[in-house]
Amino acid sequence: MIANVLGGYFMRRLIGSAVMLFIVMSAVFVADRNIGDPARMILGDTGTEADVLELRLRMGLEDPWHVQYGRFVAGLVTFDLGETFRYGISKPLAHGGIPESRATLPIAAERLPATFLLTGVAIALSVLVALPLGIWAAVRPRTIGDRLVNVLSLAGVSIVEYWFALILILLFAVQLDWLPTSGYGTAAHVILPALALSLRPIGRITQIARSSMLDELAKPYVTAARGRGIPISKIASVHALKNAAIPVVTTIGEETINVITGVIIIETVFGWPGIGALTVDALKIRDVPLIEATIFLLVLMVLSINLVVDLLYALLNPRVRLG
């Protein structure tokens, strides 16, 4: 019964996500076709008019817009988002002629494991630090400990991410030489970028965990549970936390999305070979098909997280399930 209701809820959310993906990617389609001639960008100033035309034909840019759009939408469904003529092509662009090409989506997808690792560590770190910290502060309101948590979480929310990343590099990599400045491969490499990414989520999740726990602990059902002799620890960890978890889960979802957008800068700062760094690389060389592929995957990640949050929300709040 509950499974059925949840199943229907999940299906509705899934369809909603698909519609959202379609809308976002359509906007990307429109934008990308209004920033100049992609073929000219690829071939540069040295490309001949004939080569540009040939490349335009090959890229389908000479087709009417609705044909192009149809192909684009079909590509979304079949995971074929076109080819890059620039990125990762070993043979440099020769004068005259069309360069070789590679499908963009596999290039972008290759970068996903590194990004998943970094965002996963950052979010896990945030939740593991922020949740206990927020709850700890909530059960001792207006004490020195609580005030300290308040100040620190506010600082976490306020500090600019890339500035903090540079400070981390200067302190731990350059001055103390404990950790590598950049790169990928060992556990030591993930520490600094994950720290840089988790600063804001730690602050935000701590704030929300604290305030929603405070709200819950002031509710009549908490007093009633105390009157039944339920230990305070159990009231906080089971009774209040279950209800406080709803805004906290929402915040964790939002912060995960912030982290995903944050990787675009942080991966670049730390030379982390994820999809964020690839996006910046693709932007630098104005590789439109590759930009589309990276945005497609980033949007897919964001929508998946929203879907998971919606599902958790329904599991946590019995009153949502029928809605």
Partner 1 sequence: MAVADLTRAGAPAEPGRDGALLAVSDLRVSFQTPHGVVDAVRGVSFAIGRGETVGILGESGSGKSVSVGAVMGLLDSPPARIGGAIRYGGVDLLKAPVRETRRIHGDRVAMINQDAVTALNPGLTVGYQIAEMFRVHRPGTSRADARRRAAELMDRVKIPSARQRVQSYPHEFSGGMSQRVMIAMAIALEPDILIADEPTTALDVTVQAQIMQLLAELREQTGMALILITHDLGVVAESVARVLVMYAGRIVERGPTEEVIARPAHPYTAGLMSSVPRAEHKDRKLATIEGAPPVLTAIPPGCAFHPRCGRSRPVCSGDRPELEPVTSARDSACHFAAQVFDG
What are the structure tokens assigned to 115, written together?
């990004």
Binding site for partner 1 (CB under 8 A): 219-221, 223-232, 234, 238-239, 242-243, 316-319
- Measure the CA–CA gap between 160 and 158, rounded to whole angstroms: 6
The closest alpha carbon to 213, from 187, 186, 246, 240, belongs to 240
Residues near 252 by beta carbon (within 8 Å), at least 6 away in sequence: 123, 126, 127, 201, 205, 309
Tell me how far, at minimum, the Cβ of 2 lies from partner 1, in Å: 9
Tell me how far, at minimum, the Cβ of 132 lies from partner 1, in Å: 20
What are the structure tokens assigned to 111, written together?
């970068």
Tell me how far, at minimum, the Cβ of 221 lies from partner 1, in Å: 5
- Total number of residues shown for the chain: 323
State how far the alpha carbon of 139 is from the alpha carbons of 114, 135, 209, 212, in Å: 38, 6, 11, 11
With respect to partner 1, which residue has the nearer C-beta, 165 or 244? 244
Tell me how far, at minimum, the Cβ of 73 lies from partner 1, in Å: 42
The closest alpha carbon to 120, from 260, 280, 302, belongs to 260
With respect to partner 1, which residue has the nearer C-beta, 228 or 284? 228
With respect to partner 1, which residue has the nearer C-beta, 86 or 239? 239
Tell me how far, at minimum, the Cβ of 236 lies from partner 1, in Å: 12
With respect to partner 1, which residue has the nearer C-beta, 154 or 238? 238
- Measure the CA–CA gap between 130 and 135, rounded to whole angstroms: 9
With respect to partner 1, which residue has the nearer C-beta, 120 or 247? 247
